[in-house]
Amino acid sequence: MKIFLWRIAVNGFFWLRHPVLIAYFYRRTGCFPDIAFPRSINEKFLWRKLVDRNPAFITLSDKIACKAWVAKQVPELNISPVRWEGSSIDALPEELISRAGVLKANHGCGTNLLVEEGGISRAEIERVASDWLSYNHGYEHGEWAYSCVPRKYFWEDLIAGVSRDLDEVKIFTFGKEVKRIVHISGRFSEIRANAWEYDPNGELISSPEQATVAGQDHKLTLPAGIEEAVDIASLLGSHFDHVRVDLLFDGAHWWLGEITVYNQAGYMYIPSASDPDSSLSRSWDIRNAYFFNGQPKGFIASCYANVLNQFLLR
């Protein structure tokens, strides 16, 4: 009865306060979320957006600050250096735009301008990027950490493949545990992607739930040294209940891509992410979230935390 009453109260509060997020959730998953007592991956993403206020999420969501944080955790990992940062494109040095590099905004996704050797005109930069900083990336889907990032432009070196196109791996971590890997190749040409998971013997096998970002390629093999990438992701993921660690492979070395706390705006578009009894959903233990381990709470939130903890222990 106690859980039933808390479920009605907490869900009612959030459903009334955030009807758009509830509608988005239903449209993407086909079901209504139990925010109060989340069990599936997708419910836990929504719970994270609305309940868990880990200040470290702001650091990870800031592409500049994330580089500095990762450099402290894994000094040996290659990280593309930031050559300039600022709040106005007008201040972007001329010597940078005359050569290869990448212009980005630090507070969201989809704000990348790839500049190849030979450079780019300032007029073209203005055309593409002038409104990047005015967009609140975190607002539409409730990704609050993005909304807290001080918005800046920045220019970083272009990472080029040594003997092949860049490979990208998206490694889904739950604490130290790695449960899923999405390998993407041909990002700027003929994109293809494979998904991998671990079998009971700890061997990487092709996942029956393939990636949704691109078509599968049975001939595409994982990059050499994938074990090193998994170790790096596991180390970075150990600080959190769940993050997605993106790494790039240039044919010889691993580079930081980004760390994401809201995969695809807080969704995974595979059946197991909506199944509360799937191995993937059960791997995310929100008892390790900041909400239970340091987040300041008033009386009502503390009572809710106690009831939720009892529910999760069942």
For 155-174, write each residue's pLDDT tens digit. 999 987 554 578 999 999 99
Q: State yes or no: pLDDT of 187 exceeds 90.
A: no
Burial (Cβ within 10 Å: 0-12, 13-18, ≥19) of residue 97: buried
Q: State yes or no: pLDDT of 183 exceeds 90.
A: yes
Give the pLDDT score at 219: 87
Identity of residue 243: V
- φ/ψ (deg, to 5) at 284: -85, 105
Q: Tell me the average pLDDT across 28-39.
A: 97
B/e letters for 277-297, b = 16+ CB within 10 Å, e = fewer, are: ebebbbbbebeebbbbeeeee
Give the pLDDT score at 108: 87
Domain ranges in the chain are: 81-156
pLDDT-based confidence at residue 118 (cuts at 50, 70, 90): confident
Which range has the worst mean pLDDT, 67-81, 89-103, 140-154, 159-173?
Answer: 159-173
Per cent of the chain over pLDDT 90 is 86
pLDDT-based confidence at residue 179 (cuts at 50, 70, 90): very high
Give the pLDDT score at 153: 98
> pLDDT per residue over 237-246, tens digit each?
999 999 999 9
Which range has the worst mean pLDDT, 94-98, 102-106, 242-246, 286-290?
Answer: 94-98
Give the pLDDT score at 162: 52
